[in-house]
Amino acid sequence: MQSRLSSDKRVILISGANRGIGRAITERLYDNGYTLSLGARKPESLEQLTAHVDECRVMTHKYDAHSAQSAGSWITATYERFGRLGGIVNNAGIMHAFDVESGDESSLDEMWEVNAKAPWRLVRAAFPHLKQSGAGRVINIVSLSGKRVKSAGVTGYAMTKIRAGRADPRDSIRGMGEW
């Protein structure tokens, strides 16, 4: 029986791979034989993680979730290096704690930019390669705060994360083959 984490020679992009859940996902997928393209705002933050890996299976790239151009250049660099792309783990995110009364619009805008728009941009830039793979996958990491808010101080964060969790890129290719 094939493991659910079988690599099948897939190349996976992981945003926010340098710490927390992103780091744990990176370690698990690497241990299961996947080829990885790791994105972080500060690529040097990935040095410890990648110090003892097979350089033929792992690349790092500067990825600024605020920038559509950054998403495109990361996808291009990954495809040029590995010649294929099989999936994306959208993990990068930010949180500014504030409530409706104290929050400022710029903090909310930044959370929308990183938590909701950035995953969409990555999927859009990678879409031709994901379709070409015949079995492309997209995983959007969200927060339980997106479903239920226990603290009034994270209302804006919850709004942006629930939106990211409701995005389903498969809707764009229904009827175009197995996804």
Task: Report pLDDT digits (tens) over 40-61.
Answer: 999 888 998 999 999 999 999 9
Task: Give the confidence band of 94 by pLDDT, cuts at 50, 70, 90.
Answer: confident
Active site residues: 157
64 near 118, Cβ under 8 Å?
Answer: no
CA nearest neighbour of 29 among 49, 43, 44, 47? 49
State the pairing for strand pair 137-140/87-90.
Answer: parallel
Say which amino acid occupies 80.
E
pLDDT at 179: 39
Examine the pLDDT at 2 and tell me if it is beyond 80.
Answer: no
pLDDT at 87: 95
73-84 residue pLDDT tens: 999 999 999 999
Check residues 175 and 13 and name the one with the higher pLDDT: 13
What lies within 8 Å, CB to CB, of 2 at 6+ separation is none
Fold of 11-173: Rossmann fold (3.40.50)
